[in-house]
Amino acid sequence: MKMPDKHTIDKVLRNAASKEEAKEVIRWFSTSEGRTYLENLIMEDEKNVLPGTEEHYIDVQIPSEEMYDRIMSMVRWQRRRRTLFRVAAILIPFVLFVGQLWYLDRNIDLLGNSDVEEVYVPKGERTLIVFQDGTKAYINSESRIKYPRKFGLSERKVYLEGEAFFEVSPNRKRSFIVSLGDLDVKVLGTTFDVKAYPEDSEIYVMLETGRVSISSFSQQIAHLNPGDQAIYNRKTNTCKISSPENLVNNLAWRKNQIVFDNTPLEEVIEVLSRWYDVEFVIDDLSTYHYSYTLASSKKQIHQILEELEKISPVRFTDQDGKIHVSMKK
């Protein structure tokens, strides 16, 4: 993004700019160049500010005592991090101009230093996260997601290991990005599923509604339309796009349904291990020759195993808290 002229920047800092000018400068301050420029201004002002006199540097009327206390708290925190008091003097005019004081203060990371939250969902559990923009993320078992407390001005980016289904709130000016290490999945407003467990050689992206783009190391490699599925191989760096008829089966987990469609036993065990946090012991390798087709909403693992036993000659036996897998005699 091109740097605004210094006259416009100065107008914004003096609370004399138009709404459009303020928006332009805010967006530029969210870039690395803009942050550096702002930090240099702050460093210059730091020499002239004495501890305990911070409030004298905020010359804009603040609508409420609560807001004043929050801003002063933020200002003092910024000083401890050598990002000085002028931040508050700048932030207040910005928000007043844009007409979104609470929105920017609470929900947008103007300076790029927002704290990061991390949520880990262990085996046997699933959870729902609602981000501050209204986007929902259904997190599957044994998955980890990292996200900023406040999204940036130009993008909303989260980091995922494992599987999650996203319902992204539309925002044409702030794309939503799921970073998977090898890949980035970018959307504006859509519903889609991402499966990217660290130990798996393949990453799955399944699109329910809207559109997504997939890139690898900043190189765009695919676009998906509703009903499409992308499978990216981490070893070969190749991506295959298809429109499987059973795509809905792969998304059933968020409704607490287990669906297997000609699924090999090895993969069945992997899914059940994550869902129920149980360990399987293979006593007979010939059991791996069998695949399963099953749809179930049963909540107890022994109920699922009973259903699997009805459709194959494989036996599942609970011994000392572990599930032993063998052939029926």
Residue 82: pLDDT band (50, 70, 90) is very low
Quick one: 167 and 269 in the same domain? no
Tell me, what CATH number does 294's domain have? 3.55.50.30
Whether residue 88 is predicted with pLDDT greater than 60 in this model: the reply is: no
DSSP letter for 254, please: G
Position 154 scores a pLDDT of 76
Does residue 83 or residue 19 have the better pLDDT?
19
Distance CA 245, CA 226 (A): 12
- Decide which of 56, 76, 109 is a domain's last residue: 109
Residue of 15 and 107 predicted with greater confidence: 15
Same domain, 244 and 121: yes
Q: Within a domain: residue 47? A: yes
The mean per-residue pLDDT over the stretch 205-229 comes to: 90
pLDDT digits (tens, 9 = 90+) for 271-304: 999 999 999 999 999 999 999 998 888 778 899 9
Whether the per-residue pLDDT at 125 is higher than 90: the answer is no
In this prediction, residue 27 carries a pLDDT of: 74
Phi, psi of 301 (to 5 degrees): -65, -35
- Whether residues 74 and 124 share a domain: the answer is no
With respect to residue 1, please indicate whether it lies within any of the assigned structural domains.
no
265 or 189, greater pLDDT: 265
Domain residues for the domain of 179 are 116-248
Would you give the end-to-end CA distance of the chain in angstroms?
A: 70
* pLDDT exceeds 60 at position 21: yes
CB atoms within 10 A of CB 6: 9
- Are both 301 and 242 inside the same structural domain? no
**pLDDT category, 51, cuts 50, 70, 90?**
low
Which CATH number goes with the domain that contains 193?
A: 2.60.120.1440
Using the predicted structure, report yes or no on whether residue 179 has a pLDDT greater than 90.
Answer: yes
Residues 123 and 40 in one domain: no
Residue 131 and residue 167 share a domain: yes
Q: Does residue 33 belong to any structural domain of this protein? A: yes
Q: Is residue 207 part of a domain?
A: yes
- The helix-helix angle for 32-46 and 86-98 (nearest 10°) equals 130
Last residue in a domain, options 94, 109, 124: 109
Range in 6-15, 96-105, 229-238, 260-269 with the lowest mean pLDDT: 96-105
Same domain, 15 and 47: yes
Q: Which of 229, 248, 267 is the last residue of a domain?
A: 248
In terms of C-beta density within 10 A (0-12 exposed, 13-18 middle, 19 or more buried), how is residue 13 classed?
Answer: middle
Tens-digit pLDDT profile for residues 141-167: 999 999 987 787 778 999 999 999 999
Mark whether 144 and 217 lie in a shared domain: yes
The number of domains in the chain is 3
Domain membership of residue 314 (yes or no) is yes
Give me the half-sphere count of Cα atoms (radius 13 Å) on the Cβ side of residue 166. Answer: 34
The answer to whether residues 139 and 126 touch, using CB atoms and an 8 Å cutoff, is yes
Share the mean pLDDT of the chain: 78
* Domain co-membership, 128 together with 103: no
Per-residue pLDDT, averaged over 165-177, amounts to: 89
Do 93 and 151 fall within a single domain? Answer: no
Residue 55 has pLDDT above 50, yes or no: no
Note whether residue 82 is domain-resident. yes
Residues 131 and 157 in one domain: yes
Contact 166, 136 (CB under 8 A): yes
Lowest mean pLDDT among 82-91, 256-265, 313-322: 82-91
Lowest mean pLDDT among 86-95, 133-142, 179-188: 86-95
Half-sphere exposure for 100 (CA within 13 Å, toward CB): 12
Residues 81 and 138 in one domain: no
